[in-house]
Amino acid sequence: MTSATDVERERPAPARPAVFWGHVVTVPVLAVLLVAWQTATAGPWWPADGQAFPTGAAVALAVGVVLVVGGELWPVLGSRTVDPSGVAWSTTFAFAVLLFAGLLPAVALLAGASVLSGVLARKAAYRWVFNAGQYSLSLLAAWGVLVVFDRDARPSELWSPADLSDLGVVALAAAAYFVVNELLVTFAVSALSGTSLLDDLRSVLYFELVANGAQLGLAPLVAVVMEHAPALTALGVLPVLAIHRQAVAERESRHAATHDDLTQLANRKHFLTLAESAMDLAARSDQSLALLVVDLDRFKEVNDVLGHQAGDRTIVEVGRRLRHAVRDGDVVARLGGDEFAVLVPAITSLDDALGVAQRVVAELERPFEVEGRLVDLGGSVGVALLPQHAGDFEALFSRADAAMFAAKRDGGGIRVYGPELDSGATGRVGLLGSLRRAIEAGDLVVEYQPKIDMRTGATDGVEALVRWRTTDGVLVPPDDFVPLAEQSGLMPRLTASVLEQALAQCAAWQQAGLRVPVAVNVSLRDVLDARFAVGVAERLVRYGVLGPMLTLEITERVLAEDMLRVQATLEEVSGLGVRVSLDDFGTGWSSLVLLRRLPVAEVKLDRSFVAQVARSRSDAAIVRAVIDLAHELDLVVVAEGVEDAATWSALAAMGCDTAQGWHIARSLPAPAATAWVRERARDRHGARQVGDRTERPQPVPGQTGDGAGLAGR
Ligand code: C2E
Ligand code: CA
Ligand code: CA
C-alpha cells in the first residue's frame, strides 16, 4: 500500500505547455522593447530645465501613485470565493494617468505596482513579470490610439479631455486597452488548460466588460479632476469602489449558482457544463477523458452519530482533500450528499486516471479529525473513460456510477467500468427504479432459513430472507438492495412486503398443523417510524398469528441511533407478545448491560465470530463470554452462520441454544421449507439421538435460494 505521503511525492508537477511559456516570455520582452522604442522616438518627455512642473499636476500624480499602488496591493476582487483575475481598482487611476501625463508615467506606475504586489504576495516570478508586461502592452495599445488622434500627453504637456470628440478618442483608447488585456490574459489561461481561446473569452467576457467598462469609463473624469482640482482626485475612489462591489456581488452570485455552498466545488449542473466542453476538447484532440465518481464510505455513521454539523465539517474537509489530490486542470465537483466527481481531461492511458483515483482514495483513507475524534472514512471510486466506455456524458456518468457502486459493494477502493457491470440492474439509478417497481409488483419473494434447537434438534423456527430476481433473471443479493432501500426511503414498503409474506406463510403452516415461528429482519428506518408497531399489530390480527410466533430481528448497530425512539418501538412490539432479537450481535459493541433496559428476548451471534469459533481461541472466548452473560440476562442465544460440524460442536459445548447456517440448511423457497420442516419432524420421531449430528443430512445441490439447498431425506 502506498501511503499518502508517497503518493504526494509521486504527484506529477502540472506540465505547462511550450505555447504557454512562449507567451509568458514574449509579452514582457515585447513590452520592454516597445516602451523603450516609444520613449526614444517620441520627442522630449520632461519639462525643459527651468520650467516648473505644475504643483497641481504633482499632487494629482502623487495621489494617482498612491491609488494605483494601493489598488494593486488590495484588489477589491481579492475575495477568496472568487477567482481574482487581476481586475483591480488601479485600472481607473492608471488609465487616468495615461490620459493626463502620458505613457511613461502610466507604465511605470502600473507595471511597478503589479511587480510590487506580486512580490509581496509571493507569486512566482514569471507571473508578476508577465503581469507587468501585459499591463504595459495594454497601455501601449491605448497610447497608440491617443497618438494617432494626436491626444498624446506627457509630463511636459499635460492633457485632459474637454469635449465630445476627445471622449470618442478616449473610448477608442479604452477599447484598445481592454481588448489587448483580455486577449493576453485569456490566451495564457487557455494555453495552460488546453481549452479553446474563444470558449474561454466567451465565458469571462460579460463580467470583464462590465467591470472594466465602468472602470475605464471613469478614467476621463479622473483625468479632468487631476487637471482642474488635483486634491479631489482621491474622491474618484468612491465610485470605483461602488462599481467593484457591484461586479463582485454579481460574480459571487454567479459563483453561488454554479458551486456548492459547503465545499465551494463545482455543483452538479456546473460540472455538466464543464464536462461537456472538456469532452468537445478531448474529441478534437483525439484524447481520452476520465470520469471518477467518488462516494465516501461510512459517512452516514459520522452524520448519524456525531450530528449534521460534524458531517458538514467532514464534507468541507473532503472537498479540500480532493482538490489537493487532483492536478491543475482536473475538475472536482460535489454531486450532492457524500458523493463527488472528478473529471480528468486529456489523458493518454487508463493509468493516468488510476493515478488520480489512487490519490483520491489515499486522501480519503487518512483519518479525519471530527469533533476532536479521529474517524476513518475511506472512499469508493468508479472510473469510466470516454470514448472507450461511453460515447456521451450521460452514459459515461452512469458507467462510472455503476463502477463506483460495484467498488462500494466490494468494500471500497477503485473499480474501473467493464461490460460485466451492465448486466441487469446495476448502477444505483437503474437499480433503485427497478427495486421500486419490483416491490410494487410483488416481485420480491421470501425464502426461509431454518433454525434448530441445539439441545433437542427440533425446528425452532425460520428466518425470512428477502430475495429479488429481476425480470431478466438476475438474482440480486440482499446486501446490494437492502442498503439501497434503506437510503432511499423504500424500506418501509420492503419490510411490509416481507412481513406480509412471512405472516401469511406462518398462518399457512399453522393450518397445515405445523408450528413454525418466523423471524423477520427490520431496519433502522422501520423502528424509527412511530407507526411501525401499529402496522405489526394490524397484520398479526389479519393473518391470525399470535405475537410470540413472530420475532423481529434488528441489528445491534441500530442501538447507536436514536435510543429513545428505538426503545419506544421495541416496547410497543414486545407489548404485542412479539419477540425482539438483536441481530449481528458482537459487531456493534453495545454493552450487554444496555440489553437489560430493552425488551430483548434473544441475541444472534454474528457470523464473523461464529465462523471462527472452532479455530480461533479469542473468538471462542468472546462467544463463550457472550453466551454466559446472555444467559445471566435470560436471553436466548442464536448462532448464525454455522457452516460445519466442528462449529456446531464447539457451540453446543458452550451451551448455545439455537443454530442457523448452511450446515443445517440454506434458505429455501416456501414449498421446500415446508418439506424440510415436515421431514425434520418425521426424522426426530425415529429413535435418533438428540443432537447427534453424525446422521445429519448431506447437502443436495439444485435447490434455489443461496445456491445449494439442504433437503432432509
Ligand atoms: P442477516 O440478517 O445476518 O441474515 C443472515 C444472512 O446470512 C443471510 O444472507 C443468509 O443467507 C446468510 N447465511 C445463512 N447461513 C449462512 C452460513 O452458514 N454461512 C454464511 N456465510 N452465510 C449464511 P442474505 O440472505 O444474503 O442476507 C443478507 C442480509 O440482508 C441479512 O443479514 C439482512 O441483514 C439483510 N436482509 C435479508 N432479508 C432482509 C429483509 O427481509 N429485511 C431486511 N431489513 N433485511 C434483510
Ligand atoms: Ca437476520
Ligand atoms: Ca446477522
Tens digits of residue pLDDT in 169-208? 999 999 999 999 999 988 988 887 777 788 778 877 887 8
Tens digits of residue pLDDT in 628-668? 989 988 999 999 999 999 999 999 999 999 999 999 999 99
Spell out the residues 6+ positions from residue 654 whose beta carbon is closer than 8 angstroms to its own. 613, 620, 623, 624, 627
**Alpha helix (H) residue ranges in 374-490:** 393-409, 428-441, 478-488
Ligand nearest to the CA of 463: 2
- The residue assigned the cell 434488528 is 554
Q: What value does the mean pLDDT of the chain take?
A: 84
Q: Is the dihedral of CA 424, 429, 432, 437 positive or negative?
A: negative
Q: Whose CA is nearest to atom 26 of ligand 1?
A: 478
- Ligand 1 atom index nearest CA of 705: 11
Q: Whose CA is nearest to atom 21 of ligand 1?
A: 641
Residue 207 sits at the vertex; the CA angle it makes with 119 and 69, to the nearest 5 degrees, is 30
Cβ contact 470:438 at 8 Å: yes
According to the model, what pLDDT value does residue 266 have? 92
Coil, strand or helix at 506: helix
Taking the CB of residue 53, how many other CB atoms lie within 10 A of it?
13
Spell out the residues 6+ positions from residue 7 whose beta carbon is closer than 8 angstroms to its own. 358, 359, 362
- DSSP 8-class letter at 259: B
Range with the poorest average pLDDT among 73-82, 137-146, 300-309: 73-82
Ligand 3 centroid to 521 CA: how many Å?
9
According to the model, what pLDDT value does residue 623 have? 92
- DSSP 8-class letter at 375: E
Range with the poorest average pLDDT among 153-162, 484-493, 519-528, 554-563: 554-563
Q: How far apart are CA 484 and CA 710, in angstroms?
A: 30
Ligand 3 centroid to 607 CA: how many Å?
7
Let me know if 293 is exposed, middle or buried by CB neighbors in 10 A (0-12, 13-18, 19+): buried
Q: What percent of the chain has pLDDT over 70?
A: 88
Ligand nearest to the CA of 667: 1
Q: How far apart are CA 656 and CA 630, in angstroms?
A: 10
According to the model, what pLDDT value does residue 78 have? 41
Spell out the residues 6+ positions from residue 68 whose beta carbon is closer than 8 angstroms to its own. 90, 93, 94, 97, 109, 110, 113
Grid cell listed for 497? 412486503
- Top mutation candidate among 482, 524, 587, 663 for ligand 1, by most atoms within 8 Å of CB: 482
Ligand 3 centroid to 344 CA: how many Å?
41
Q: How many CA atoms lie within 13 Å of 456's alpha carbon, on the beta-carbon side?
A: 9
Ligand 2 centroid to 696 CA: how many Å?
24
Q: What percent of the chain has pLDDT over 90?
A: 43
- Ligand 1 atom index nearest CA of 663: 18
- Residue 396 Cβ contacting ligand 1 at under 6 Å: no
Cβ contact 697:676 at 8 Å: no
Highest mean pLDDT: which of 29-43, 46-60, 165-179, 373-387? 165-179
Ligand nearest to the CA of 660: 1
Tens digits of residue pLDDT in 232-249? 888 888 887 787 777 778
DSSP string, 537-577: HHHHHHHT--GGGEEEEEEGGGGGS-HHHHHHHHHHHHHTT
Ligand 1 centroid to 641 CA: how many Å?
9
Tell me: pLDDT of 507 over 80: yes
Ligand nearest to the CA of 586: 3
